[in-house]
């Protein structure tokens, strides 16, 4: 049997240079001949390794997807920021009006006034702390993006 011919065909096989008849003949021979089969498997391993090493450049679609996802994340962050900011403004405004009315109201017991004021103070402090945490997380996320 002509093993040299088949071993030459093996590299041609991976280069896609064999005719369908040659391919069939080679495959048949590989089933019968362990020596050529191991040669074939070695070339196959090498070829798949090379395919992994020389990965194709990211296509245009991949880049588009990447930028779309960056834009989406940015959009969500801005949404969160506006939401937090808006709720703080509304809360301060509402609290201010409430406090003004509370102080003017002579019928409300002092203890209730103090209770409501401290409740509102607590809400404001928690909200500010929440917002600070969100801003902090945003910064950390940005660092993560740089690291990637
Ligand atoms: Zn052989």
What spacing in Å lies between the alpha carbon of 8 and ligand 1's midpoint? 11
Q: At 106, is the secondary structure helix, strand, or coil? A: coil
Give burial (CB, 10 Å; 0-12/13-18/19+) of 7: middle
Q: How many independent structural domains does the chain possess?
A: 2
Check if the beta carbon of residue 113 is closer than 8 Å to that of residue 99. no
Same domain, 40 and 112: no
What spacing in Å lies between the alpha carbon of 102 and ligand 1's midpoint? 98
Tens-digit pLDDT string for the chain (148 aa):
678 999 999 989 988 899 999 999 999 999 999 999 999 999 998 888 887 776 666 677 777 877 788 888 888 888 888 888 888 888 888 878 877 887 788 888 888 888 888 888 888 888 888 877 777 666 666 655 555 4
The pLDDT of residue 20: 94
Enumerate the H helices of 2-148 as residue ranges. Answer: 3-14, 20-32, 34-53, 60-104, 110-147
The pLDDT of residue 85: 85
Give burial (CB, 10 Å; 0-12/13-18/19+) of 129: exposed
What spacing in Å lies between the alpha carbon of 40 and ligand 1's midpoint? 10
Same domain, 68 and 122: yes
The pLDDT of residue 56: 62
Q: In terms of residue numbers, what domain contains 35?
A: 3-53
What spacing in Å lies between the alpha carbon of 19 and ligand 1's midpoint? 19
The pLDDT of residue 26: 94
Same domain, 34 and 87: no
Reported pTM: 0.37
Same domain, 71 and 138: yes
User: Closest by alpha carbon to 18, among 33, 38, 34, 40?
Assistant: 40
Same domain, 113 and 138: yes
**Can you tell me the distance from the alpha carbon of 60 to that of 53, in angstroms, rounded to the nearest whole number?**
20
Same domain, 87 and 113: yes
What spacing in Å lies between the alpha carbon of 73 and ligand 1's midpoint? 58
């Amino acid at each position: 049997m002509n093993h040299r011919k088949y071993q030459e065909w093996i590299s041609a096989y991976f280069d896609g240079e064999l005719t369908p008849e040659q391919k069939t003949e080679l495959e048949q021979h590989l089933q019968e001949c362990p020596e050529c089969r191991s040669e074939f498997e070695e070339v196959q391993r090498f070829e798949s390794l090379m395919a992994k090493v020389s990965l194709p450049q990211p296509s245009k679609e991949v880049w588009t997807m990447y930028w779309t996802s960056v834009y989406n994340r940015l959009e969500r962050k801005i949404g969160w920021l506006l939401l937090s900011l808006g709720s703080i403004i509304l809360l301060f405004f509402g609290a201010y009006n409430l406090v003004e009315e509370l102080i003017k109201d002579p019928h409300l017991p002092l203890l209730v006034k103090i209770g409501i004021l401290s409740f509102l103070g607590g809400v404001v402090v928690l909200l500010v702390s929440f917002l600070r945490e969100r801003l902090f997380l945003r910064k950390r996320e940005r660092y993560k993006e740089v690291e990637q």
